[in-house]
Amino acid sequence: MSHINDWDWNTGKKILADINQWRKQFGWVEEPYASPNGESVAAIVKVDEMSFSVCENGEAWDNSFDKIWFLRYGPDNRAAGLVSDTAMWTVAVSGEPWKNWFEFVWDAKFGIHEGHITTAAQKNMEYFAVTDDQPWENGFYNLSHLAASPSGRSAAAVVQTKPINEGDIAAFQKGCFTVAVNGSPWQHEFLNAWEISFDSEEKHVAAEVRMNLNDYTIVVDGQPWNQRFSSVWQPVFNPADGSVTAPVRVAGGWTMARNGEIIWNSRLLQLWHHIYSMNGSRIAAVASPKFGRWTLAIDDVPWALTFKDLVTDPVFSPDGRHAACAGKTDGKWTVAVDGIAWNEAYDMVWPPIFSPDGKNVAAKTEKNGIYRIIVNGQPIKIDFKTLWNPIFSPKGDKLLIRGVGTVEDEGKYIRIIMSLAETLK
Amino acid sequence: MKTPAEATDEQIIDRGIEDGAAKLTQDKVKRVVQKMLAAEGGARLKTYIETCAHCGLCSEACHFYISNDKDPAYSPAGKIKQTIGEIVKKRGNVSVDFIKTACEISFTECNLCRRCVMYCPFGIDAAYMMLFMRRICHKLGVVPQYIQDTAHSHSATLNQMWVKEDEWIDTLHWQEEEARDEIPGLRIPIEKEGADIFYSVIGPEPKFRAQLIYQAAVIMHAAGVDWTMPATPGWDNSDMCMYTGDVEMMARLKKVHFETAMRLKTKRIVMGECGHAFRSVHDVGNRYLGWKMAPLPVIHAIEFFYELLRDRKIRIKKKFQKPVTFHDPCNIVRGRGLHEKARYVIHQTCKAFIEMHPNREHNYCCSAGGGVINCGPPFRKKRVTGNRVKADQLEAVKAKGAEIVIAPCHNCHGGLEDIIKHYELGMELKFLGDIIYECMEKE
Ligand code: SF4
Ligand code: SF4
């Protein structure tokens, strides 16, 4: 397990690969992916008429496959892809396929902190999840909404436990779906279950469900809340006390509920994607206080700043004192921090990222096809053709930038460590 | 006035309606309706009901009315009177049998096509009224079986056709492989973050019409478009829940669709040739969620093809030779005004174009729209005989030489196919994508 402290944080630039060169070598090169520590870059390449591999820092994996898709790096800086050989599928990590093969694999997930991999799989028309090459013991009629626990060691998914014949609306309305955690289904079935969340200790699971055609609620470890709502969105566990909150729709609009009880006074036109500060004391959520306006609501108080089109990617600073999000008005994106928008607008912005001390915010942006990192609203004046999200050093004094360059670095994958003081000059 | 059941040759038995009604009592009907009227029956409903002068100007606008020998039971105002009008008048004190009839009328005798709205001096929206009736039916659990099953599929799989996640991705792989036989460098880029275009389709494409995904991939490839399709739910832009009155589920579907496009950080959604999905994504579902417009631009295939041809991104090798006519789908013509762009695409790609009449925003619905075709076989005959006027339209244009009917909408295809067969018109149906694919330079 690679830890962010162990990464090379010496300031400077490394050119690690020439992707244009890969194009000459392989002919077929798909879009590249960079490892979190920035030391590796990989892309799916064609090595033979009918065979594909992954080129990492200029070297193709030893193994090749009939097909590869969904190449991604895990938090442990290993590249994994979904691979097929003679019509069977599995996960290959750094080129090594798992021992078990399936009729199909998809929706691969990494734990946030560790490199455990979970994927959805189907074999003999049975649906299940596989974590680190270990398939669930139980298979189901269908599986969706796969979720990995924070470490990635556990997985949960919505599963169909009974068959539904075509047009059998009565069977469906009796409830054929539930949540399975590491293969074990909850006792009760529901009409539907959707988004799933794990608690931080990976002991509890909550999900949104529909009890009958009109009543929605949240289920925690198989037990529905007593209250019913006309709709709900994804529940989240409070990291401090383990209580569960979810946006719920009541007469008058959307609001926040904890363990079934309404805790916010606001009734909003929309409320979703709520997050907790690390100590569990604050909640931020994307909200629409009035028709066609979007903002962040923090602990029941919407920002005065609103956006017309959209608000996404809410985030708290690690100390929970600050909050940021991406917002869009009239087709142009920017970042807002504590209710104040950056001056510049972009064609696209990616999730804003706080420095560990919460004082600085960085985001990947794109304008007219040129990608740049913006810190506190100021651009770092290096243009990229492809760029990944920036990462702050553990002390917050440096920034890791990973991208494919332009001009003299055209087509080259570069890794830059910049001191923040330098970027803010 | 004839009841709808009398108007057809035989009594239609629909399990969704019968079994749902069997669980009701008049008292429950009253309670649910009164709650609904209090919660959602606002000024719009009241104004429409109070304003209708029963002048009948809307009648001639409705294909059901004209095709059923001008039976007033099929006029827009007549349908309102027999359903939500009566419910409001009696404040929900109606029988279970009344609900069954009102369900059948609102779900299977109105396409929500909004043609009649244009002819009403007060702009009364019969489609809104029928949708309100359907919403009550949903709350009562009385919904035709086939469309309810589709709504169940939407809720469970987030697509219309019970397509499982692996089946969806496998279809994309399969179409990519097939297309590579024709064009070796072609790719269907799955989950490509940051692509310009998020291409979404409706459930029936992977299920029955996978060649449309193939054709779209060829068009994208030739035009050099930076595009992607997701490997997660959210790929299906369709929405029968909008039509069953299950607006909460409609909202969930649209949220997933938009958020999938946003998760992939795409700039615009391009949708395949579907009308109702466009209504849901561009007008109804987005607004229900709180967006005035769609949170990112939504481009119907017609507009997209128009752009590609106008900007010379795709070139036509040889124009389509057989004479064509064009059916204007309600949701993208009355709903969005794409009729001239569609004609531009036709003129660029086809040698001979013959207009049917009336056309553009005055065109008659295919009678499949508004979820009517999704109510399934029990109502097929009624749907087809209820649109004789469309057959007359097609016959007239056939007499002028048209051999091909272009309809850039899946539902219209379903509806027109049944009409062409029933009235033995011998015409062939095509999507704009079929024509472009056939006539374009591919490399
Ligand atoms: S089918 Fe169309 S014209 Fe007829 S009542 Fe319904 S919306 Fe009006
Ligand atoms: S045209 Fe308008 S006012 Fe006249 S009957 Fe029809 S809905 Fe009523």
**Cα B237 from Cα B243, distance rounded (Å):** 14
Rounded to an integer, what is the distance from CA A255 to the centroid of its chain? 24
- Rg, C-alpha atoms of chain A: 23
- Give the pLDDT score at B212: 96
Of B16, B231, B295, Cβ closest to residue A70: B231
Q: Is B53 in the pocket of ligand 2 (CB under 6 A)?
A: yes
pLDDT at B3 exceeding the cut of 70: no
Nearest CA to B46 among B84, B83, B82, B72?
B84
pLDDT at B2 exceeding the cut of 90: no
Max CA separation in chain A (angstroms): 67
B10 assigned to some structural domain = no
**Cα A157 from Cα A179, distance rounded (Å):** 6
**Cα A371 from Cα A348, distance rounded (Å):** 9
pLDDT at B419 exceeding the cut of 80: yes
- Give the pLDDT score at A1: 45
What the block records as the tokens of B127 is 């489609």
Distance (Å) from the alpha carbon of A313 to chain B's nearest alpha carbon = 10
- Give the pLDDT score at A283: 98
> What are the E-state strand segments in B217-348?
227-228, 268-271, 298-300, 324-326
Together in a domain, B297 and B324: no
What CATH number is given to the structural domain containing B75? 1.10.1060
pLDDT in tens, A366-415: 999 999 999 999 999 999 999 999 999 999 999 999 999 999 999 999 99
- Give residue B72's identity as a one-letter amino acid code: P
Together in a domain, B45 and B175: no
Ligand nearest to the CA of residue B335, numbered in listed order: 1
Rounded to an integer, what is the distance from CA A365 to the centroid of its chain? 18
B403 assigned to some structural domain = yes
**Cα B98 from Cα B427, distance rounded (Å):** 40
Cα(B79) to ligand 2 centroid in Å equals 11
- Give the pLDDT score at B257: 97
Please provide residue A208's backbone torsions phi and psi, each rounded to the nearest 5 degrees: -85, 140
pLDDT interval class at A49 (50, 70, 90):
confident
pLDDT interval class at B281 (50, 70, 90):
confident
Of A69, A164, A169, Cβ closest to residue B145: A169
User: Average of pLDDT values for B402-431?
Assistant: 97
B4 assigned to some structural domain = no
Q: A178-202 burial, b if ≥16 CB within 10 A, otherwise e?
A: bbbbbbebbeebbbbbbbbbbbbeb
Q: Which of B90, B109, B143 is the last residue of a domain?
A: B143
pLDDT at A330 exceeding the cut of 50: yes
Together in a domain, B353 and B425: yes
**Cα B329 from Cα B119, distance rounded (Å):** 18
**Cα A119 from Cα B427, distance rounded (Å):** 48
pLDDT at B1 exceeding the cut of 90: no
- The angle, 0 to 180 degrees and rounded to 10, between the axes of the packed helices B26-40 and B96-108 is 50
Q: Is B122 in the pocket of ligand 2 (CB under 6 A)?
A: yes
Together in a domain, B371 and B294: no
What is the average pLDDT value for chain B, to the nearest integer? Answer: 95
- Give the pLDDT score at A225: 98
pLDDT in tens, A90-138: 999 999 999 999 999 999 999 888 889 999 999 999 999 999 999 999 9
**Cα A71 from Cα A82, distance rounded (Å):** 7
B382 assigned to some structural domain = yes
CB contact under 8 A, A310 and B296: yes
Together in a domain, B395 and B334: yes
pLDDT at B251 exceeding the cut of 90: yes
Together in a domain, B164 and B305: yes
- Give the pLDDT score at A422: 86
- Please give the C-alpha separations between residue A173 and each of A176, A191, A211, B22, B192, in angstroms, as whole numbers: 8, 6, 9, 15, 37
* β-sheet bridge partners, residue A296: A286
What the block records as the tokens of A223 is 């037990």
Please provide residue B395's backbone torsions phi and psi, each rounded to the nearest 5 degrees: -60, -40
B280 assigned to some structural domain = yes
Rounded to an integer, what is the distance from CA B101 to the centroid of its chain? 23
- The angle, 0 to 180 degrees and rounded to 10, between the axes of the packed helices B388-399 and B410-422 is 80
B223 assigned to some structural domain = yes
What the block records as the tokens of B405 is 């009917």
Burial class (CB in 10 A: 0-12, 13-18, 19+), A228: middle
pLDDT in tens, A137-177: 999 999 999 999 999 999 999 999 999 998 999 999 999 99
What the block records as the tokens of A99 is 């021992």
| A106 neighbors A81 (Cβ within 8 angstroms) | no
**Cα A372 from Cα B424, distance rounded (Å):** 61
B153 assigned to some structural domain = no
Q: What is the ipTM of this complex?
A: 0.97
Together in a domain, B305 and B322: no
B1 assigned to some structural domain = no
Nearest CA to A317 among A374, A359, A274, A365?
A359
pLDDT in tens, A218-269: 999 999 999 999 999 999 999 999 999 999 999 989 999 999 999 999 999 9
Distance (Å) from the alpha carbon of B146 to chain A's nearest alpha carbon = 6
pLDDT interval class at B9 (50, 70, 90):
low
* β-sheet bridge partners, residue A371: A366, A384
**Cα B137 from Cα B247, distance rounded (Å):** 12
Q: Is residue B182 within a helix (H) or strand (E), and if so which, with residue range?
A: helix B165-182
Q: Which of B119, B143, B167 is the last residue of a domain?
A: B143
What the block records as the tokens of A209 is 């469900």
Q: Is B61 in the pocket of ligand 1 (CB under 6 A)?
A: yes
pLDDT at A8 exceeding the cut of 50: yes
Together in a domain, B117 and B164: no
| A362 neighbors A373 (Cβ within 8 angstroms) | yes
Residue A407 DSSP code? G
Q: Which of B309, B342, B358 is the last residue of a domain?
A: B309
**Cα B15 from Cα B29, distance rounded (Å):** 19
> What string of DSSP letters covers B334-366?
TTT--HHHHHHHHHHHBS-B---SS-GGGPPP-
| A374 neighbors A348 (Cβ within 8 angstroms) | no
pLDDT interval class at B278 (50, 70, 90):
confident
pLDDT in tens, B10-25: 688 999 999 999 999 9
pLDDT at B6 exceeding the cut of 70: no
- Give the pLDDT score at A112: 87
pLDDT in tens, B83-136: 999 999 999 999 999 999 999 999 999 999 999 999 999 999 999 999 999 999
Mode of pairing for the β-strands spanning A205-210 and A216-220: antiparallel
Global pTM reads: 0.97
Of B170, B187, B248, Cβ closest to residue A230: B248
* Nearest atom (ligand 2) to Cα of B57: 1
- Please give the C-alpha separations between residue A103 and each of A83, A106, A142, B91, in angstroms, as whole numbers: 11, 11, 14, 56
Nearest CA to B36 among B247, B286, B253?
B247
Together in a domain, B338 and B265: no
> What string of DSSP letters covers A152-166?
SS-EEEEEE-S---T
User: Average of pLDDT values for B344-349?
Assistant: 98
- Which residues of chain B are within 8 Å of residue A167 when distances are taken between CB atoms? 145-146, 149
CB contact under 8 A, A291 and B246: no
- Give the pLDDT score at B224: 97
* β-sheet bridge partners, residue B201: B236
| A350 neighbors A339 (Cβ within 8 angstroms) | no
- Which residues of chain B are within 8 Å of residue A347 when distances are taken between CB atoms? 267
User: Average of pLDDT values for B49-59?
Assistant: 94
Together in a domain, B192 and B67: no
> What are the E-state strand segments in A172-322?
177-181, 184-185, 192-198, 205-210, 216-220, 223-224, 231-232, 236-237, 244-250, 253-258, 261-262, 270-276, 283-290, 293-298, 301-302, 310-316
Together in a domain, B369 and B286: no
Together in a domain, B45 and B138: yes
**Cα B265 from Cα A371, distance rounded (Å):** 13
Number of domains in chain B: 3
A86-90, A223-227, B2-6, B32-36: range with lowest mean pLDDT: B2-6
Give percent of chain A above pLDDT 90: 96
Q: Whose CA is closest to atom 6 on ligand 2? A: B58
CB-based contacts of A191, cutoff 8 Å, min separation 6 = A172, A173, A175, A177, A209, A210, A211, A212, A213, B155
Q: Is B366 in the pocket of ligand 2 (CB under 6 A)?
A: no
- Give the pLDDT score at B10: 66
What the block records as the tokens of A423 is 């970027």
| B278 neighbors B335 (Cβ within 8 angstroms) | yes
Cα(B88) to ligand 1 centroid in Å equals 20
Q: Is B61 in the pocket of ligand 2 (CB under 6 A)?
A: no
What CATH number is given to the structural domain containing B202? 3.40.50
Task: For residue B284, give its domain range.
Answer: 158-309
User: Average of pLDDT values for B293-308?
Assistant: 96
* Three-state secondary-structure class, residue B90: coil
